[in-house]
Amino acid sequence: MSWLSRGTGAHAGLPVALEGAPLHRARAAVVLLHGRAGNPYAILRHARVLGQPDLALLAPQAEGRSWYPARFVRPLAENAAHLDSAFSVVDGLIAAAGLPPERVALMGFSQGACVSLEYVVRRRPRLGAVIALSGGLMGAAPPDPAPEPGLAGLPVLLAGGREDRQIPLARVLETEDALGRLGADVTLHLRDGDLHGVTEAERRLAATLLARLGTAPAGA
């Protein structure tokens, strides 16, 4: 079963894969954003193994299988139009879930992780959790977001590799610092080696975070 995404720009009107619990019976919902050259089912594979059948999973397709055209460390202007479209799709899916915001999480891998992090820093939504697997905040300069309003108490899992050539460790650490200054509750997981992927340890951390969705107020 699938929907068509709402929003504006290049990414709007494309399929959204739906798995897990029906929204009217779900404890919580997770919006999942795939990586470059990926598709909804690539990111859904990671969510399926988390052992939480009471979650509704919503995974949109990016136009051309890419959320933005330039490298994530290029000037933001080079990706701005595509990011605005991606943000509008996420806005639409969060609204369509029809759940209190503390029961909605955003989870992404690689490009999807970068979009997820940029979304929460720019939009400052009151979500239940953000899971960024192999990603970082975007832009040519180290991220320096305005401090107000912040992301007080937002649970964030930020995972990266110490030698990942696609997501430099320095940017992951800069992202941790920026989110911390905004008040987010960041769990940083660094893996050894150059893997650009998702490990079992990261899946366990994600499962723990998602198990708490809706059990305590986020952003309090």
For the chain, the structural domain boundaries read 2-211
**Which residues are bridge partners to 156 per DSSP?**
130, 186
Q: What is the pLDDT of residue 218?
A: 45
Q: How would you write 26-45 as a 3-class SS string?
A: CCEEEEEECCCCCCHHHHHH
Predicted model pTM: 0.94
Q: What is the pLDDT of residue 148?
A: 75
Residue 111 has phi, psi (to 5 degrees) of -55, -40
CA gap 83, 96 in Å, rounded: 20
Q: What is the pLDDT of residue 216?
A: 55
pLDDT by residue, tens only, the chain of 220 residues = 579 999 999 999 999 999 999 999 999 999 999 999 999 999 998 888 888 999 999 999 999 999 999 999 999 999 999 999 999 999 999 999 999 999 999 999 999 999 999 999 999 988 999 999 999 999 998 888 887 778 999 999 999 999 998 999 999 999 999 999 999 999 999 999 888 888 899 999 999 999 998 775 444 4
AA identity, residue 64:
G
Using the 8-state DSSP alphabet, how is residue 9 labeled?
S
CATH of domain 2-211: 3.40.50.1820
Would you say the C-alpha torsion 83, 138, 208, 201 has a positive or negative sign? positive
CA gap 220, 151 in Å, rounded: 9
